Amino acid sequence: MKTIYPSMCVESSSFFTSSVAAALVNIRAQSRYRHLWHYFRPSPNIIYRRKTAKLIDVEKLANNVIKVYDILENKRFNSIIIGPGSGAAADIANAVNAPLLPVHTMVIELRLFNPIGPDDVQRYAKEGSGLAKIILRNNENISIIIHDDVIHDRTMVKRYLINRIKFKKLPRAYDFFIKKYLKKNGTIIFIENTQPWKQYKIEKNIWFQLGGYGGIGFREYVSGSERIDSWLKKSIQRHRGGWSLDYPLEKNPESEWGTPTGLDKDVSNYCRKNNLKFIKIQTEHITNLSLLSSYLWYERNKKDGHSNGYSIGTFWAHSPTASALSRYIPYWAPWPDESTLKIADSHLNRMINDFDAPKKAIFARHGAIGPDIVGIRGWKNMLRRHFDKKNIRLHGSLTNLVYNRIKKRVHSLATLNSVESYIRNITTWAKKLDKKSKDSLTISDFVRIARKTGLKAKAIL
């Protein structure tokens, strides 16, 4: 099967955008490249030397994220989705047969020779804000979040200095894309996720997010806890007692899955000026979009047949192509942590009560570390509350729940390889079934189902 890869390395929204592009033409999208040198070569979003930061052009970054859509050639669509680059948004886009334009991109400074200790958040903030200031001097209509998850990203933050760039206005690259791919009088669907996280305000348009999505809240990152200290001890790490910075705190949309405040108004104005229809979907948690995607696909499959089961993925262990080709209802879990497991359990209970679908499930657990992470056995136990043992297919990964039990490089490679293997296997299996529904959903279907799942849906048609 033909495969496409994300345009921008180690960038989640780029992977999920490529997975949408692949699903629209029934091919496979892989989250990792075939050769590891891709992760270290200079690229539009990876720099080695601070002085090259002045060359960063956010418009080019935005264009590179959506470059994978070149595979669509001259095809035009009834709608385009703008929202958080995520597996949930990817499944929603695939359900309504629409491209996805993510609301952020990323710049990473790869620190091969001057690493930052994973517990030195002060230095991470200082170095990150220095990079952010250079980017802001040369680019307009953006804000930057320095994202430092000292637990879940512990294998990364020593070498990767992350600046997540949030669009405050629609990039020109997106304007060009919309005019090329959206039909006349088409619809822009804007997904706003206001899911909050406390962030340190470094200065205007520069924020620092300590920690990130999962089963550990902001306060536990700051104050520390017995379970974090125990995990650090098992991981052979010296740090104890939490992490914090001396900057003012404000509550903002979460770095990775939140939507930048105010972008909805700019997109709405854009639609009005260009005679386009505008629909805004609002949620306060990214998993509510996962529930919406499941209901959308159940409804779409009903139009000319039925669903065959449930496809549950976590983070990058995800394939919209496979879900569509197999008619397995997709449900995307952002992370394999204890909080997400409880939400997924509740959502599955609701879906199984509402859906007339076989109780079969394929589940893939993305490799992750931290005291809040649930192993493959814990997910299996949850799934057995909804599905018979014989009807569950599990895909795990060679991943320990501590940081240093096995060599860090082995951990990272094992995680990447397990994701690649899962996506390859599941899409090959789905391609053999080749059961994709012929019909997609209308805009009216979309709004009705969004409201049915409890989301706020505002339409300006």
Express each pLDDT in 278-303 by its tens digit: 999 999 999 999 999 999 999 999 99
pLDDT-derived band of residue 169, with 50, 70 and 90 as boundaries? very high
What residues contact 348, with CB distance under 8 A and at least 6 apart?
A: 310, 331, 383, 386
Burial of 159 (C-beta count, 10 Å sphere; 0-12/13-18/19+): middle
Which of the four pLDDT bands, split at 50, 70 and 90, describes residue 445? very high
Q: Give the per-residue pLDDT at 401.
A: 47
Question: What are the structural domain ranges in the chain?
Answer: 3-460
Amino acid (one-letter) located at 383? L
3 state SS for the chain? CCEECCCCCCCHHHHHHHHHHHHHCCCEECCCCCCHHHHCCCECCEECCHHHHHHCCHHHHHHHHCHHHHHHCCCCEEEEEEECCCHHHHHHHHHCCCCEEECEEEEEEECCCCCCCCCCHHHHHHHHHHHHHHHHHCCCCEEEEEEECCCCCCCCCCCEEEEEEEECCCCHHHHHHHHHHEEEEEEEEEEEECCEEEEEEEECCEEEEECCCCCCCHHHHHHCCHHHHHHHHHCCCCCCCCCCCCCCEEEEECCCCCCCCCHHHHHHHHHHHCCCEEEEEEECCHHHHHHHHHHHHHHHHHHCCCCCEEEEEECCECCHHHHHHHCEEEEEECCCEHHHHHHHHHHHHHHHHHCCCCCCEEEECCCCCCCCECCHHHHHHHHCCCCCHHHEEEECCCCCCCCCCCCHHHHHHHHHHHHHHHHHHHHHHHHHHCCCCCCCCCHHHHHHHHHHCCCEEEEEC
The answer to whether residue 78 scores a pLDDT higher than 90 is yes
Predicted confidence band of residue 457 (pLDDT cuts 50, 70, 90): very high
Q: Tell me how far apart the alpha carbons of residues 305 and 320 are, in angstroms, rounded to a whole number.
A: 19
* Sequence letter at residue 79: S
pLDDT at 232: 94
Phi, psi of 350 (to 5 degrees): -65, -45
Question: For 42-50, what is the mean pLDDT?
Answer: 80
Asked if pLDDT for residue 27 goes beyond 80, the answer is yes
More confident residue, 20 or 376: 20
Q: Comparing 174 with 41, which gets the higher pLDDT? A: 174
The pLDDT of residue 419: 81
pLDDT over 90, % of the chain: 80
Convert the pLDDT of each residue in 358-412 to its tens digit: 999 999 999 888 999 998 899 999 999 999 999 999 987 654 445 444 344 444 5
Tens digit of each residue's pLDDT (9 = 90 or more) over 91-108: 999 999 999 999 999 999
- The confidence score (pLDDT) of residue 81 equals 98
User: Residue 414, exposed/middle/buried by CB under 10 A (0-12, 13-18, 19+)?
Assistant: middle
- Closest residue by Cα to residue 99 from 430, 440, 437, 426: 440
Whole-number average pLDDT of the chain = 92
Residue 421, pLDDT score? 82
- The answer, yes or no, to whether residue 435 has pLDDT greater than 80, is yes
What is the amino acid identity at position 434?
Answer: D
Query: Does pLDDT of 266 surpass 60?
Result: yes
Q: What is the mean pLDDT of residues 171-190?
A: 97
For residues 48 and 37, give the distance between their C-alpha atoms in angstroms, rounded to a whole number. Answer: 14
Provide the 10 A C-beta neighbour count for residue 424: 15
Average pLDDT over residues 158-187: 96
Residue 403's pLDDT is what?
Answer: 46
